[in-house]
Chain A
């Protein structure tokens, strides 16, 4: 094998997966959309990225992406976290597709652990990376048992868990991957998004697809679907709030990241959704620490080409 002629695009199909595999995944997607919240088993393939690092989301994207798509990839809400960069580069290379950081422009948004702040529109697809698709796995390790629970709609174990949480903490203590009921039939894990993002799922204009590569499951929430975060009448579902606003753009209602500034415990709070924050700043919104270095990293350092 001589180097130089061994370019990926010579050897791999469009978007890396072969057409049979894409077809298999699309069938799983259709089934998942037809049964909202139901986990469809699929023949997950080994990808060049490790299991646990987004192979489910990558396979979903690879099965649906085409040359006319515009692709955005975020991790923890930001476009420039290392794994998001890595995955975006992968698709730019194997799918030769336009990439963007603009939430409104993207047709496919692949995400790890957040839903963008900006409401999505019809025609957009949000692809979630899911480490553990089974919402009951932490309570019941056996697949044979949890499968039966979903089939019989026997979610007593989940209710017991909520009860115990209130008994122990005086609240439902789940903060991330907060369990939801889809169309009042299937218990579903929304992936490890903060519960702050749960309300965005219900009645969404966009298609929500969830992929777990290592666990080999695909599930979906079609547009305009009922999504109910589990709670008690007297302990209703609440989202997280902060006392602070975003220090860079002043936003009040977005999910904030805590950034440690020095060893003395000084901290600032900044929008987790990097594009949302940048868009607000471009529109003239200003936060209390708008002078901070974080706000001024507009120019990417030029990427060094590999030898």
Chain B
């Protein structure tokens, strides 16, 4: 079921939001994780959520990706089965199926996003099998193509993740999260923990894939250089609140909020 495009003022038609977040608030006792966060994301957009540790960006990510029920607020996704739905209004099996079939989630640490005891190839093929694919040869071929796409040596398709470097494990994780054609991909510091040159190459790859596939991506990072490279729009968070939003270039070149100014000024110009 496709979302019905909305007619905006002036007659222009905008694609309906893929994900809509309204008034998202999460507290742990009296500690505020995040407060009153609202935004939308449309197909093909890359939204960066930036801030230092403790800013609430990870809390927001966990809530909007269906892993942490909020204390209040709504998170709606344009599901293929039920249309625009409150993701926490879905039954747990339905929500988990949606996460599996329509989303991707790239973890900061590839060990959290891969089956370490299965081969790289099996990791990448699994999402296809979860969708009901039953032809081994075709899936293996698709896996090989994806390994090529993420610039891994396809002869290593049967190696276990621990035989790969961190950067390569991350590429396997990326392939695993894109092979099933998700419409929305979450990324949590996808290049964190990798050394700088490896980071740069991985970011280039990600940017290319996102562009080629027209994906919607929500990327959480504390690294402004990553944000500048990947995101179309930014949301700056501090102390659980959104302090500034806007197009990436605007926020980075002309930050309005004192905290954004602080963040931006600390970025090394590459």
Contacts and interface: CB of A to CB of B under 8 A. Distances in A.
A250 B137 CA distance: 39
Contact of B122 (A153, A164, A231): A164
Contacts of B126: 156, 159-160, 163
Contact of A235 (B93, B97, B100, B136): B136
A300 to B, nearest CB: 50
Contact of B125 (A152, A163, A233, A234): A163
B136 A234 contact: yes
A152 B98 CA distance: 12
B93 A164 contact: no
A231 to B, nearest CB: 8
A2 B106 CA distance: 74
20 contacts: A151-B93, A153-B93, A154-B100, A159-B126, A159-B129, A160-B118, A160-B123, A160-B126, A160-B129, A163-B121, A163-B125, A163-B136, A164-B119, A166-B136, A167-B119, A167-B140, A232-B136, A234-B135, A234-B138, A235-B136
Given A156-B130, A163-B126, A168-B158, 13 more contacts: A153-B93, A154-B96, A156-B126, A160-B125, A163-B136, A163-B139, A164-B118, A164-B122, A166-B136, A231-B134, A232-B136, A233-B135, A234-B137
Nearest to B94: A152
Contacts of A234: 135-138
Contacts of B122: 160, 163-164, 167
A20 to B, nearest CB: 35
Nearest to B129: A159
A232 B135 CA distance: 5
Nearest to A151: B93
Interface string A149-179: 0011110110110011011100000000000
A157 B130 CA distance: 10
B92 interface: yes
Contact of B158 (A154, A167, A232, A233): A167
A153 B129 CA distance: 13
A136 to B, nearest CB: 13
A147 to B, nearest CB: 13
A165 B100 CA distance: 23
A157 B134 CA distance: 15
B115 interface: yes
Contacts, number: 52
Interface in B103-136: 115, 118-119, 121-123, 125-126, 129-130, 134-136
Q: Is the interface of B mostly helix, strand, loop or mixed?
A: helix
Interface string A234-247: 11000000000000
Interface in B126-177: 126, 129-130, 134-140, 158
Given A151-B93, A166-B136, A232-B135, A156 B129 contact: yes
A152 B118 contact: no
Interface of B: 92-93, 96-97, 100, 115, 118-119, 121-123, 125-126, 129-130, 134-140, 158
Contacts of A167: 119, 121-122, 140, 158
A163 B158 contact: no
A152 B134 contact: no
Contacts of A166: 136
A271 B206 CA distance: 60
Contacts of A152: 92-93, 96-97
Contacts of A231: 134
Contacts of B97: 152
A236 to B, nearest CB: 10
Closest 4 CB pairs of A and B: A159-B129, A232-B136, A233-B135, A160-B122
Nearest to B143: A163
Contacts of B121: 163, 167
A232 B136 CA distance: 6
Contact of A160 (B100, B115, B135, B140): B115
Contacts of B115: 157, 160
A160 B139 CA distance: 12
Contacts of A154: 96, 100, 130
A102 to B, nearest CB: 41
Interface centre among B93, B129, B139 (most CB of A within 10 A): B129
B121 to A, nearest CB: 7
Contacts of B129: 156, 159-160, 163
Nearest to B130: A156
A154 to B, nearest CB: 7
A39 B119 CA distance: 30
Nearest to A153: B93
B135 to A, nearest CB: 5
Interface in A158-214: 159-160, 163-164, 166-168
